[in-house]
Amino acid sequence: MRGSFAPRREIVMPQTSTILIVDDDPEVRRALKIILLQPPVGTLLQRGASLFDSGSPPVPVQEEVPSPYRLLFAQSGEEAVRQVTEALAEGLQIALAFIDMKMPGLNGAQTAAAIWQLDARIKAVFVTAYSEATPHEIIEITGRRDHFYLRKPFNGEVIRQFALALTEQWQLERERAALNDALASKNRKLAEFNATLEEQVKVQSAMLFHSEKMASIGILAAGVAHEINNPIAFVRSNLETLADYSANFKNLLQGYQEMAAEVSAGRFAEALRRIELLREQEELEQTAFALADVSEMIDESLDGTARIINIVNDLRYIARDDHEVLSYADVNRLLDSVLNLIAHQTEGRIVFVRQYEKIPEILCYPQQLSQVFMQILLNAVQAIAAAGTITVTTRETGDGLSQSQFIVVTITDDGCGIEEDDLKKVFDPFFTTREVGDGTGLGMSISHDIVKAHRGSIQVASKVGVGTTFTVRLPLVSGYGA
Q: Do 330 and 386 belong to one domain?
A: yes
- In the predicted model, is pLDDT for residue 22 greater than 90? yes
Is 66 within a domain? yes
How far apart CA 283 and CA 275 sit, in angstroms, is: 10
Is 168 within a domain? no
Q: What is the pLDDT of residue 7?
A: 37
Residue 457, C-beta contacts closer than 8 angstroms, at least 6 positions apart: 451, 472, 473
Q: What is the pLDDT of residue 344?
A: 72
The answer to whether the CB of 455 falls within 8 A of the CB of 475 is: yes
End-of-domain residue from the set 289, 306, 321: 321
Q: What is the pLDDT of residue 82?
A: 94
Which candidate, 22, 457, 370, places its Cα nearest to that of 378?
370
For 261-308, what is each residue's pLDDT tens digit? 767 777 767 767 766 666 555 555 555 566 667 777 787 778 778 777
Domain count, the chain: 3
Report, as an integer, the average pLDDT of 156-168: 89
Q: The CATH number of the domain where 29 resides is what? A: 3.40.50.2300
Amino acid found at 80: A
Helix 156-264 to helix 283-319 angle (10° resolution) is: 170
End-of-domain residue from the set 321, 348, 381: 321
Report, as an integer, the average pLDDT of 366-377: 87
pTM of the predicted structure, to 2 decimals: 0.47
**Exposure of 350 by Cβ count < 10 A (0-12 exposed, 13-18 middle, 19+ buried)?**
buried
Containing structural domain, residue 427: 322-482
Is 171 within a domain? no
Q: The CATH number of the domain where 363 resides is what? A: 3.30.565.10
For 343-368, what is each residue's pLDDT tens digit? 877 777 889 999 999 999 998 888 88
Whole-Å CA distances, 157 to 120, 161, 164, 168, 477: 27, 6, 10, 16, 78
How far apart CA 337 and CA 340 sit, in angstroms, is: 5
How far apart CA 323 and CA 73 sit, in angstroms, is: 71
